[in-house]
């Protein structure tokens, strides 16, 4: 395979990953507003796709972290990135098929690590950068859960004497705003991960003199994620929107506003986080504040298990793919 074809395949796979990320993670921004009927499914998908696109164009700090912190620049080859993306795409499709809200971020980072291990060995991974990214990935759901619980507790205190029906009617309207916030935040973090991958291969091929994200890469990744979002991800929406606990409009607003703040804050810091994990943990925190026993902790347990198995699983797939390609070549 020629060098140019290899680079083209990396770009294509990165856009496919973004498209899958869009429908895999659509639930992050719209599940609660759909479940409470604040937005119709069609309107929610439209809002999410539009704001995902806008968020994806809002910065490149996360792309820079992905592009520089896990893999030494001199080890970047199209084959390494192809295997990394195949590992991430496989895991995303596997978890989407079974309706498991796993992390596209974990899958991509696991794929990168696995591809490097398969190509040149574990000693070549930038483990210091990996640990920093992993710390952010693990800390953000905890922050989301605690913040969600605190926000919900505060709202309960503020509206303790108000009629529940009136409160929910007001917050059903506010959920449109919180869904917009969550969608923008999702785009600001998740689309940048693929931007980082494309920029990596362009730098390695000396097409770019140094690491930065060209405008065409930003637009292509943003469009791919927006298109994937428009495609929808109803299996995961059902899990996020109703199976963790019975969500009312005030709960949905609290969860979406909390997760949007955590995710966008991470984007400004250049920290790649799992939007799936932050939103699901925020929902758990809100549910626990409402009624601890009302949270279906068996569903929460399944999500937590997915958190911990995603990185090694996608890494293993990338290693297997790399070795298979080397045998065929």
Which pLDDT tens digit goes with each residue over 63-118? 998 888 888 877 889 999 999 999 999 998 888 787 676 778 889 999 999 999 99
The model's confidence at residue 11, banded by pLDDT at 50, 70 and 90, is very high
Q: Are 201 and 76 in contact (CB under 8 A)?
A: yes
pLDDT tens per residue, range 165-191: 889 899 999 999 998 999 899 889 988
Q: What is the pLDDT of residue 1?
A: 55
User: In sequence order, which ranges of 98-238 are alpha helices (DSSP H)?
Assistant: 104-120, 127-158, 164-204, 215-231, 234-238
Which tokens is 71 given?
């893999």
The model's confidence at residue 220, banded by pLDDT at 50, 70 and 90, is very high
d(CA 197, CA 189): 14
**Tokens 């995603």 belong to residue:** 310
Q: What is the pLDDT of residue 291?
A: 72
CA distances from 178 to 135, 203, 227, 276 (A): 27, 38, 21, 16
Q: What is the pLDDT of residue 290?
A: 74
Q: pLDDT: is 238 or 68 the higher one?
A: 68
Q: What is the pLDDT of residue 216?
A: 93
Q: What is the pLDDT of residue 141?
A: 87
Which tokens is 222 given?
């943003």
Q: What is the pLDDT of residue 237?
A: 56
* 247 conformational bin, left if phi > 0, alpha if psi -120 to 50, beta if neither: beta
């Amino acid at each position: 395979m020629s060098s140019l074809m290899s680079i083209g395949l990396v770009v294509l796979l990165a856009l496919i990953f973004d498209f899958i990320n869009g429908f895999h993670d659509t639930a992050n921004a719209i599940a609660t507003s759909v479940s409470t009927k604040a937005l119709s499914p069609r309107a929610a998908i439209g809002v999410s796709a539009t704001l995902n696109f806008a968020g994806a164009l809002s910065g490149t700090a996360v792309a820079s972290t992905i592009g520089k912190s896990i893999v030494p620049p001199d080890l970047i080859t199209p084959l390494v990135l192809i295997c990394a993306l195949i590992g991430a795409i496989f895991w995303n499709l596997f978890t989407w098929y079974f309706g498991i809200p796993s992390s596209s971020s974990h899958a991509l980072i696991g794929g990168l690590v696995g591809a490097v291990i398969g190509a040149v060995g574990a000693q070549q991974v930038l483990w210091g950068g990996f640990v920093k990214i992993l710390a952010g990935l693990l800390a953000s759901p905890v922050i989301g859960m605690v913040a969600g619980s605190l926000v919900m507790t505060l709202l309960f205190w503020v509206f303790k004497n108000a009629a529940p029906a009136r409160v929910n009617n007001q917050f059903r309207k506010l959920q449109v705003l919180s869904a917009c916030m969550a969608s923008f935040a999702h785009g600001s973090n998740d689309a940048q991960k693929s931007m980082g991958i494309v920029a990596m291969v362009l730098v390695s091929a000396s097409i770019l003199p140094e690491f930065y994200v060209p405008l065409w890469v930003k637009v292509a990744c943003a469009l791919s994620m927006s298109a994937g979002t428009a495609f929808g991800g109803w299996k995961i929406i059902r899990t996020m929107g109703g199976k963790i606990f019975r969500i009312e409009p005030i709960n949905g607003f609290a969860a979406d506003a909390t997760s949007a703040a955590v995710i966008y804050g991470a984007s400004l810091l250049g920290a790649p986080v799992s939007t799936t994990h932050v939103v699901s943990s925020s929902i758990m925190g809100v549910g626990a504040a409402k009624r601890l026993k009302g949270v279906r902790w068996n569903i929460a347990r399944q999500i937590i298990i997915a958190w911990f198995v995603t990185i090694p699983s996608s890494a293993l797939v990338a290693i297997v793919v790399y070795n298979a390609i080397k045998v065929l070549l």
